[in-house]
Structure formats: C-alpha cells, structure tokens
Amino acid sequence: MRTIKIFDTTLRDGEQSPGASMNTAEKLQLAKQLARMGVDIIEAGFAIASPGDFEAIKTIAGDVEGPIICSLARAKEEDIKRAWAAIKDAPKKRIHTFHSTSEIHLKHQYRIGPKEALKRSVEMVKLAKSFTDDIEFSPMDATRTDIGYLCEVIEAVIKAGATTVNIPDTVGYSIPSEFGAMIKKIRKRVKNIDKAVISVHCHNDLGLSTSNSLAAVLNGAGQIECTINGIGERAGNCSMEEVVMALRTRRDLFNADTNINTKEIMRSSRLVTSITGMRVQPNKAIVGANAFSHESGIHQDGLLKEKTTYEIITPESIGLGKTKYVLGKHSGRNAFRTRLSELGYTLSDDEINNAFKLFKEIADQKKDMYDEDLAALVSSEVSTVPEKYKLIKMSVSSGTDQKPSATIKMRVGTKNIQKTQKGDGPIDAIFKAITGITGTKSRLLKYEVKAITGGTDALGEVIVSLEEDDISVTGHGADTDIITASAKAYINALNKITARKK
C-alpha cells in the first residue's frame, strides 16, 4: 500500500479564485485546520506576490507544526530569495519554483526559446537548493509541452537538486487516459526519476481534475496537489475531499491511501466557505448539502434494509456526525468555548467573551444554536482585522407605500457619527448610509443571504464582497435579523479593505 502525499494549495492557488482573498489571520486559522487534518504539505502562498502574502507565509511558518510549509516562486532570483525569507523559520520547509515549458507559453508569454527556459529552470533550482534541501519544480503547462522536451527539463532539474517534480495541467486540458499515459512516459524516459517524487496539479476546466489526478496515481504519481472544495484559478483545482475519498473508498483498486484524517473534511470545507464566502454547490461530491440525501423511494427502501445498497461512504467518515450538537440559552461559557474549540476555532479570552455575549442575545430569540450557527457567529463577530468602523445602532423603515430609509449610528475611529439615507430597498438604504458615514468608495461585487438552519427564527448569514482600488474582500455578518446582518457584513468588509490598504 503506497501513501500518496497531499499537497494543499488552498492558500495559494485556491486564493487565486476571484473573490477568495484571505487575510493573515484567516490564512493562519485555515493552515491550522489543514495541519489538524493531516495534509503533508501546505503551500501557504506566493511570497513575492505581495507584502500580505509574505507576512501570511511567515506567520504560518512560525506557528503551524506538522506539515511542510511551502512558498511558490517563479524561476527568478528575487522570487526564490523572498520565498526562502518567508519559510525559513518553519521546522519543515519547501521552495516550489516553476517555469513554463510549452511552446505556446515560451513563444507568446516569455518570448524565449526552450534552451533558455531549461537553463533558467536549472539555475533557479540550484539557487533554491542552496537554501534548503526540499525543492519542488513545476514545468508549467506541462500537458501542452512536447514530451521529449518535458522529459529533458525534468531530468535536468532533478540533477540540479529538485526532490519533487510536479506535472501541472495548468489549463485543465488533458483527459485521464492521456494524463495517465504522460506520467507513465515520464517514469520510463527520465533516467533519474527515482530520485524525485512525481506530483500532479490538475485544473478543472473540463471537469476532469479529480479523474486526471487519480489516473496519475495509477501510473505512479506520489503526490497530489489539491484544494479544499476545489477552489482555485478559473474552474478551480482538483478537490481534496474528492481525491482523498476516492483513494480511501477504492483502496482495493489504487493500492494507495493518504495521511488525511477524513473526519476533518466537513469542518475544513465549512471553514473555507465561511472564510472565502464561496459556497459549495448542493450536488458537489462529498461535501455538498445533498451528498448524503436520498430522495428516490427505491433508494430509501434499500437504505432502510442495508446502508451499503446505496451508500458507498458514510457521512460519519467525513465528520458529518449523526449527533447534531445543540447549544441554547441555558448553555454556559464553558460549553460554548469547548464546542468552538471542537469546531476548530482557537479564540482568545476577549474574543470568546464577545462572541458569547452575542450568542446569549441570539439564543434568547432562537431556541437552538447548531454548529453551523456557531460558525456563522464566529465569522461575523470575531474580527480578524482591526475595527476602524463599528456599528452602534440602526433602524430601518420600509413598506409598500414608502421609500425605504435607514438611520445608522457608527463609531469611526474615536468618533460617533449618525446618518439617515433613503434607498431603492432597505439594504440599498443601509449601504448608502454606511458609505455616507465612512466616505468609502467601494463597489459591491456580491451580496448573499443564507438562512443557516431551518425555521423562521433561523440565524441569517450575509456575505458581502466589495472591491476598492483593486482590493477585493469578503465580509460576513450574522444575526436573526437579516437587515442587521447585512449592515454587519458591509462594515466587516470595509474594515478588511482598510486593513489591506495599510
């Protein structure tokens, strides 16, 4: 039985999804969850991309134990030095450097020939090797690269010190039989291939990223690059929960497994949704809301007689326990703290106290508080950025025969400011009043409301994505009143923009 390494790139390629940007505190929280889940390597970011990326990688390198912490770097001296500076404090570290190899990229984007690309790749692997032993090299757009040249590059970078060679299907172009055959050819033709692990990095443009990764495993790949919920550039990356559960469920076929504690899958999926605001489609394999719902009468009949008739994996195996934990207004601070820590949140005493205060207020209106409610409450109330803007109070009036109007009182720095604004609807009026107070010029990219759990007293979670000066962020707000939740989400997003600008 082989153990396939799981290389998680949610914090790097995943963050490249439009609207999925995360701040350092959010990245750290997610990295800790990935470590708890047992991933082998965390690609924590692209150090040279921005000071924010650098800071996040450095924080994760200093704070997260277990997995290897990796930074991406183009095959350029300044990138590699920056990657090293970001990861050097991690107990286990890796530099991942890449250069395109396909003719289409070299001719149109890099405007260099194949010899120059090979030379740069080898030189930069050698430079990276002067900092650390664990080096990964990716020939970008490998699946559209001439196989002879690809093998030449792979052999040369292994000779220069690469310990992992990653084969990216950068544009999601390949199909499983072809991709599997490519891995087989690489293993056959590259003389020193036994000195490196073959990794694969598949994008999902044709919906084949999981199948391609699995085909690669069948042909000898030893590492899979993937993201939670499959988020990533364009149509996303191979989804971790899918490959991991496919390998686990069909161990008989693959003769391989991973180190992942699959019971952490659901918690990780929810955390990514709550941080990025990117919801999972209901029919998504493994983590979609319908993944374990059986509608057909024939299926239900079979299930009642014997679970395995229509269920190939159990909900419990991905951490969807049968027991729903319910807290209510009589629950104490200790039960609240314990449940949050079981859900993966590490909060300071002050944060617990603030969240507990709101929990009590909400529990007065809403009888049962489920795990999903607690997660929404934490994303809304525990700010991961300094709060320049804070909601003090608000009132809204709207009706069929009046123009909606909102009065908002906020604290801005040390001042309290109040404003009333009319709008096309109550939400429009609130957002106008808030921008009137803050003087911000953000563009609204997304506004979403979700009832977290059933019932008319359900906690409503609002997600607001804003963009200003090329910075896009996602804010959260939760409340039993969705109008209040909307104001909180908008203000949370504005605080994130302010922090990012700094």
Q: Which residues bind Zn ion (CB under 5 A)?
A: 13
Q: Are 129 and 93 in contact (CB under 8 A)?
A: no
Q: Could you tell me the smallest distance in angstroms from the CB atom of residue 43 to Zn ion?
A: 10
Do 154 and 165 meet the contact criterion of CB atoms below 8 Å apart?
A: yes
| Contact between 179 and ligand KIV per CB under 6 A | no
From the list 126-134, 165-173, 242-250, 396-404, the region that binds ligand KIV by CB under 6 A is 165-173
Alpha carbon separation from 120 to 137, 146, 192, 309 (Å, rounded): 12, 18, 20, 55
Under 8 Å CB-to-CB from 351, ≥6 apart: which residues? 382
Other C-beta atoms closer than 10 Å to the C-beta of 428 total: 15
Taking CB atoms, the residue at the shortest distance from Zn ion is 13
Region of 27-35, 166-174, 297-305, 416-424 interacting with ligand KIV (CB under 6 A): 166-174
140 binds, among Zn ion, ligand KIV, none (CB under 5 to 8 A by kind): ligand KIV
Q: What is the rounded CA–CA span in Å between residue 158 and residue 136?
A: 9
Nearest to 265 by CA among 282, 283, 248: 248
Binding mask 359-398 for ligand KIV (x = CB under 6 A): ----------------------------------------
464/485 Cα distance (integer angstroms): 10
String of contacts with ligand KIV for each residue 180-209, x by CB under 6 A: ---------------------x-x------
Q: Which does 98 bind (CB under 5 to 8 A by kind): ligand KIV, Zn ion, none?
A: ligand KIV
Cα distance between residue 271 and residue 265, in whole Å: 10
Interaction between residue 138 and ligand KIV (CB under 6 A): yes
Beta carbon nearer to Zn ion, 237 or 484: 237
CA dihedral 377, 383, 387, 389 (to 10 degrees): -30
The CA dihedral of 77, 83, 86, 90, to the nearest 10 degrees, is -130
Q: In what order do the strands lie in the sheet with 389-399?
A: 389-399, 402-412, 415-422
List the x/- string, 439-458, binding to ligand KIV by CB under 6 A.
Answer: --------------------
For residue 65, give the DSSP letter: -
Q: Measured from the CB of residue 138, what is the shortest distance to Zn ion in angstroms?
A: 9
Regarding 270 and contact with ligand KIV (CB under 6 A), the answer is: no
Quick check: 150 binds ligand KIV (CB under 6 A)?
no
Return the number of the residue (170 or 480) whose C-beta is nearest ligand KIV.
170
Q: Could you tell which of ligand KIV, Zn ion, none binds residue 198, using a CB distance below 5 to 8 A set by kind? A: none
- Where does this chain bind ligand KIV (CB under 6 A)? 13, 72, 98, 138, 140, 166, 168, 170, 201, 203
